[in-house]
Structure 1
Amino acid sequence: MKNDFKYIDLFEEMLLSEKMSSQNTVRAYRKDIELFINYVHKELQTSVLKITSNNIRRWLLYLNKNINLSRNSHSRKISSLRVFYKFLVADGYILNNPAEEIKSSKKYMTLPKVLSIEEVLKLIKAIYPLNNPRAYRMLALVELMYSSGLRVEELVSLRLNSINFNNATIFITGKGGKERIVPVGNIALKAVKEYLNYRNEYFCLNKKSIWMFPSNSSKKGHITARRFSQLLTELSREAGLNDLKISPHILRHSFATHLLSGGIDLRILQELLGHSDISTVQIYTHVVDNEKKKALRFHPLENNI
């Protein structure tokens, strides 16, 4: 039983080296599997290698009873166990995957929060009065994310040579090591160029740093997703938008929704966002539909009925 946590380490190593999974994905898997192993040891007093499908069902019932598991969380935990046990089967630790026959709950469709175009502009305008090197960096970060719809991890880990200023494109290595090239707008390019005037002097003690947004205090060598989120929260406060709880994800969702409202083809949007499954992108059509319904409230006949 003590060796069970060793399998998580091996599983994590496989995800990072073979699947090229993101750190966030790996953390989510690890959290779910550690939770399961702790239950197996405490309640069943056995090893994860001796688990049956019924044991997994009992665990899910246990979670529902004790922490009121949402349908989305329920599905994610089943998915985590499926991938974990698939790894154990592939590496010869067990013969069958006990999680394979567990059915996931139907997911709720939670519409992503988005900002209006006016709110995005208000957020950006709040940066200008600050007029210092950190403000130029923040402007570059926000403009790039809203211009190209990058994931936050993709944004903060951009390399210095990732942007082709001549072709107005960004080379990105995304989830699972998948590479893509996305266009970037002139306003965002201008913001990056202005920031680069300050990069070496104010943010880069290591002159050989390969990162577009280096950080002297980060172990990764570049500004972290968490730090950017903190800066975005501070900026939201400056812009008077604190109640919207703006996050990097909301900026990315806003990028996608505004493009879709403008008539972009769903397949092209899928490529820009780096999603492998178009169904992941289709949720934005529901956001646009919702906005259209809201707009109907201002129709003259609606107000006279």
Structure 2
Amino acid sequence: MKPQAEPAVESFLAMLAAQRGAAANTLAAYRRDLAAAGEQIGCLERASRADIEGLGAAWVELAPSSVARKASALRQFYGFLVDEGVREDDPSSALPRPRIRRPLPRLLGHEEVAALFRTAEADAAAGTPEGLRILALLELLYGSGLRATELVSLPIAAVPRDAPFLTITGKGSVQRMVPISARAAHALADWLVARGKGGRFVFPSPRGGHLSRVRLFQLLRDLALRAGLDPEKVSPHVLRHAFATHLLEGGADLRVLQTLLGHADIATTQIYTHVDAARLVTLVNQRHPLARS
């Protein structure tokens, strides 16, 4: 049996679940990090600034990303205690702040995406269920920017009959409306006819339930190989990155992109701004009032 966390930690986790809609995996990660800190310094609720400083020394062998994750959990925990009036001070300022360079996403160029679509459209033209399915999958990954899990678990009920939107349940069970292009809607309609009736998922598995993420990866890499691309470069997440990057290149607003991708924090979306620095410089030079003076 797992040892019970201290009451303050349990209250914090309950707040994350109720107010922020944190998923079970997220709550489990917070619980592990807070429990590990408690094992090192004792009761977290009563920890002093000196206790918190000691954690930095205990974490010295960890990767910067691990230190950042653990420190973030504690900062949020102590912020919660201060907000609730449990503590008057916040000792988390003594935690280390490692500098992390966020890796840039792997990118697919327009020609590489076009090669994938040419191959998928040729498959669909044969009229086989497999061909119609791969085209529908590709259209929704690149055309709507869905996450792999969102795509494979898409229920039939999320596909409207007369509106150009999908209702997506993303991370933390947060719902959002995602536009679906006319060509994606056409590919999806063709697939639904070939799919037949029965089951609650748009992309069912022969063994019941829905298509697995692993199988989705396999289908995309097979498509990439047949399209003459390096299969290691193609994945659901890479196509989601391509969706975001190419929209930004086309002039999409970053806040709009944040909504489409289902990012809770605009900082997550800002990683895409690196890909279109030249366009942003041109925009400033052309549109800023001082550029015309």
Measure how far apart 1:259 and its partner are. 0.7
Unpaired segments of 5 or more residues in structure 1? 64-68, 202-206, 294-305
Partner of 1:166: 162
Match for 1:62: what amino acid? E
Measure how far apart 1:191 and its partner are. 1.0
Partner of 1:145: 141
Partner of 2:258: 270
For residues 45 and 261 of structure 1, do their structure 2 counterparts lie closer, same or farther at Cα, with a shift above 3 Å needed? closer
Q: Is the 8 A contact 1:163 1:170 kept in 2?
A: yes
For residues 286 and 214 of structure 1, do their structure 2 counterparts lie closer, same or farther at Cα, with a shift above 3 Å needed? same
Partners of 1:15 and 1:277 lie apart in 2 by 16
Partner of 1:247: 235
Partners of 1:226 and 1:26 lie apart in 2 by 25
Partners of 1:56 and 1:228 lie apart in 2 by 41
Q: Is the 8 A contact 1:4 1:48 kept in 2?
A: no
Partner of 1:179: 175
Q: Is the 8 A contact 1:72 1:107 kept in 2?
A: yes
Partner of 1:222: 210
Unpaired segments of 5 or more residues in structure 2? 282-293
Partners of 1:135 and 1:48 lie apart in 2 by 56
From 95, 99, 106, give the equivalent of 1:102: 95
Match for 2:159: what amino acid? I
Partners of 2:14 and 2:134 lie apart in 1 by 34
Partner of 1:237: 225
Deviation by residue 1:39-73 (Cα, 9 ceiling, x = unmatched): 976xx59787887313421331132xxxxx1x334
Size of the aligned set, in residue pairs, is 274
From 248, 257, 260, give the equivalent of 2:245: 257
For residues 103 and 84 of structure 1, do their structure 2 counterparts lie closer, same or farther at Cα, with a shift above 3 Å needed? same
Partners of 1:11 and 1:274 lie apart in 2 by 24
Partner of 1:133: 129
- Give secondary structure in 1 for the equivalent of 2:61: helix
Partners of 2:72 and 2:206 lie apart in 1 by 38
Partners of 2:240 and 2:251 lie apart in 1 by 17
From 198, 204, 221, give the equivalent of 2:194: 198
Identity %: 38
Match for 2:148: what amino acid? V
Q: Is the 8 A contact 1:122 1:239 kept in 2?
A: yes
Q: Is the 8 A contact 1:56 1:99 kept in 2?
A: no
TM-score by length of 1: 0.71
Match for 1:180: what amino acid? R
TM-score by length of 2: 0.74
Partners of 2:13 and 2:240 lie apart in 1 by 27
Partner of 2:55: 56
Deviation by residue 1:117-163 (Cα, 9 ceiling, x = unmatched): 11112122223444432332222111012111122222222221212
Partner of 1:296: none
Measure how far apart 1:210 and its partner are. 2.5
